[in-house]
Chain A
C-alpha cells in the first residue's frame, strides 16, 4: 500500500516528461503533424486515465469531504446568523422594554420600602411599649423590694427594741400571766 503513491507519482512524471522528450529533438519551430496531435491526444488520454485510475477516488473523496465541510460550515454559519439575529431581536425588545421595567422595579422598590418603613415603625412602637412596660414592672419590683427590705429592717429593729424593753421590765406577774395564757391554750387544744 505504501508503494502506490510513489508509483503514481513516477507515472505522472513520466507522462508529463515524455512529450518534452519527444519534442526535445526539434530545435526549430516545425509545423504540427497529425501524428503529433494523435500522440498528444493519446498522451493526454493516458494522463487522464492514469489520474482517474490512481488518484480519482482520492480526489473525489477530497472534494466530497471538502464540499461537505463547506456545506457544514455554511449551515453552522447560517445557524449562528439566525441565533445572532434572534439575540439581536431580543436585545432590541429588552432595550425597548427597559424604561417600563425600570418603572416597574422602581414602583416595586418604593412599595417595598414603604412597607418596610411601616414595619420598622410598628416594631419600634412595639419595642417602645415593651420597654415602657418592662420599666414600669422593674420600678414596681424595685419599689416592692425596697418596701420589703424596709419592712424587714423595721421589723428587726422593732423586735430588738421590744426584746430589750420587755426583758428590762419583765416581772414575775408577767411570767404568771404568760403561763396562764399558755395553759389556757393547752386546755383549749385538749378540748379540741
Chain B
C-alpha cells in the first residue's frame, strides 16, 4: 500500500474521532509535534531500523508522547500506528491530517516571504488579497529574505505570486538586455 493512502486512512480515522473543531485543531497540533520528534534525523533512523524491535519502538514512542504531554486520544493513535508498524509514516499522516482539517475548516495555507519582517497590518493586508484569490481563509507561514529588497513573494496552492522588488529589477534588466 502506498504511504499516501496509508496516511490518508489514518488521518481520516483521527478526524472521525471528534466533531468538535477545537478538539481537532488541538489534536492536529499534537500530531504535528509528535511527527516532528519522530521525523527528526536522530530519531527517524531508529524508528526505520529493522534491528530495533517493534516493542522497543512502541516503548520509545510512548515515552516521547509522555514527554510531549499529548492527550489520551493522540497517544492511543500513536500506539495504534506503532503496533501497525507505521511509525515512520507519522510525518505523512500529520501532513495529511493538517490538509484534511484545512479542507474541513475551509481554509488553506500560504508561505509568505517578505523582504523585511511585516507588521500585523501589512500581513493582514496581504492575507486579504490571498484570501480573495483562494476564496477561503489563509493561514500564513511567514519568512524573511532580505535579498528580495522589497515587497513579498507568496506561495499559495501550488502557485507563486511574486511581488518582490528584486524580481521587478530582474525583469527590468531582462527587458533592457532585449
Binding site for B on A (CB under 8 A): 148, 151-152, 154-156, 158-159, 162-163, 166-167, 170, 174-176, 178-187, 189-190
Given known pairs A175-B116, A178-B163, A180-B125, the reply for A186 and B169 (CB within 8 Å) is no
* Stretch from B51-59, B70-78, B144-152 that touches the partner: B144-152
Given known pairs A148-B177, A151-B178, A190-B133, the reply for A182 and B169 (CB within 8 Å) is no
Cβ contact within 8 Å between B132 and A190: yes
* Shortest distance from the beta carbon of A192 to any chain B beta carbon, whole Å: 10
Contacts of B165 in A (CB 8 A): 166, 170, 178
* Shortest distance from the beta carbon of B105 to any chain A beta carbon, whole Å: 21
Cβ contact within 8 Å between A155 and B151: no
Contacts of A184 in B (CB 8 A): 129
Q: Which of A174, A179, A181, A183 has the largest number of chain B CB atoms within 10 A?
A: A179
Cβ contact within 8 Å between B172 and A179: no
Secondary structure dominating the interface of A: helix
Cβ contact within 8 Å between A182 and B129: yes
Secondary structure dominating the interface of B: helix
Neighbour of B177 across the interface among A155, A162, A190, CB < 8 A: A155
Contacts of A182 in B (CB 8 A): 126, 129, 151-152, 161, 163
Contacts of A151 in B (CB 8 A): 176-178
* Shortest distance from the beta carbon of B127 to any chain A beta carbon, whole Å: 9
9 residue pairs of the A-B complex, CB under 8 angstroms, read A148-B177, A155-B174, A155-B177, A163-B169, A175-B122, A179-B151, A183-B129, A184-B129, A185-B163
Q: Which residues B72-119 have CB closer than 8 A to chain A?
A: 115-116, 118
Number of interface residues of B (CB under 8 A): 27
Extra A-B contacts (7), CB below 8 Å, given A148-B177, A182-B161: A155-B176, A162-B169, A163-B169, A175-B150, A179-B122, A183-B128, A185-B161
Cβ contact within 8 Å between A186 and B150: no
Contacts of B152 in A (CB 8 A): 178-179, 182
Cβ contact within 8 Å between B150 and A183: no
Question: Interface code B35-52, partner A: CB below 8 Å = 1, 0 otherwise?
Answer: 000000000000000000
* Shortest distance from the beta carbon of B142 to any chain A beta carbon, whole Å: 13
Neighbour of B151 across the interface among A148, A159, A162, A178, CB < 8 A: A178
* Shortest distance from the beta carbon of B171 to any chain A beta carbon, whole Å: 10
* Shortest distance from the beta carbon of B3 to any chain A beta carbon, whole Å: 35
5 tightest A-B CB contacts, nearest first: A182-B163, A186-B129, A159-B173, A183-B129, A155-B177
A167 to B126, CA, bound (A): 22
A134 to B133, CA, bound (A): 55
Nearest B residue to A185 by beta-carbon distance?
B163
Given known pairs A163-B166, A166-B165, A166-B169, the reply for A154 and B133 (CB within 8 Å) is no
Cβ contact within 8 Å between B177 and A152: yes
